[in-house]
Chains A and B, each alone.
Chain A
């Protein structure tokens, strides 16, 4: 076995030192009745070349972005990932290392995390970021728990225009913590501000809104923050497509208390959804309540500048059942990918990229707007996605487009929003060309005839 170096001769020598003579003796602490008589049925061993061939074959059974054009966003985005990202994350001392408990041997990881935290704090307009969370939805759940359970205000007011999956995850996490959720209605594709105002009282631990929202529309963050602040309720902004923050004023600038979400857009391909990158950024006031790892700058005993994991007394390994969260392993390598990505595209790159996405999506909006059979119900500012409804059953559209090598989301938003029918969010990043958009238009025209 090529990963197990001990020879039979080694084994004999080691047995002698240990004072056993058989494997069975070595495992004698396991009651006989539990010892497997037959190996678990997982198939014969395969040589590397054959594993490669078999898995390459399996991967080719998927329809990929190289086989078809994807106009899917919602929870994962197709942006270009510069080669330097993979090259860097493939450096063995980055990807094989453990969580940096030993700072003397982990300055590489620690400094990269510090840069990640710095970038994310700037991008979101907040004071601090943690080292990463699992993903965008669990990040929103952590924020909810931090603000509701932490402050013993067990009610969360959430926008009904959070992505339906984020909403489902919030419900999953809220139940056991006895947090009750009120959904704030939408009006014309964005949060209904009156309804928000009506639902905020002193029991509400936090308001959670997503921008751009599930329909792709940019929320009026200034009003939402003002209304919440008047009622003294903390605010959480969920951002699932942070490329938008290359151009949009960040939630922190409006006074939001927490900005969290998904940063897969920063240097990761959608990869069938994972691993992605959860993040959470907070104001100074909340730093000591933040879930997960956080890296701080300090000195070593010789006075050299360096980095360590800090504020550890919040965490599960020290606080056990009193920890702010149960998270341990997070998504550090994905945070490294984001750090390399953001370093590479830089200030100007992120801004230009955001503009490019807006331009592509608006071009598509104008092209699709006058197609017979397509409705664009809400005409409000959006980033790179917008909602459309079709005059025909969506399954037919999905099929017809697939025949033309065009991928749209499997999610019919009619399933989540009773006031919609045959509805779907279309996404346009820098990775779709003018020709792709015109092809989509033609294919839709044909399908809708």
Chain B
């Protein structure tokens, strides 16, 4: 499987979840794990460009596919990805636990709808839980991300 552009062998144990494989076997701890039943959204990654829950996939299922995690958005030291930049500018995070999942969901949203309506934004982030921000700043950040990405 390809993870952020580089090839990796899948794990030997088929019961390894994709989320655990990313974190424990590949050291990509930016993908967070909250609930392991699809509800919180903080484990969201892109599978062939579409956001999916990495806690609801076996790692072996990603064989032959491309996975992108939050680490793949911008290289260390490089300018932030437009979605990251927007969350930074709009204070779309406080503790940051939920943030990787929001970022990947929003990258997926903007790929599908580069100029999303407020309803599309709500719909896209409704599956991600944040205990800190109260969502208003996240909503603003998504619209800002669309602006920055359009430039």
A and B found bound together: no
Chain A interface residues toward B at CB < 8 A? none
Chain B interface residues toward A at CB < 8 A? none
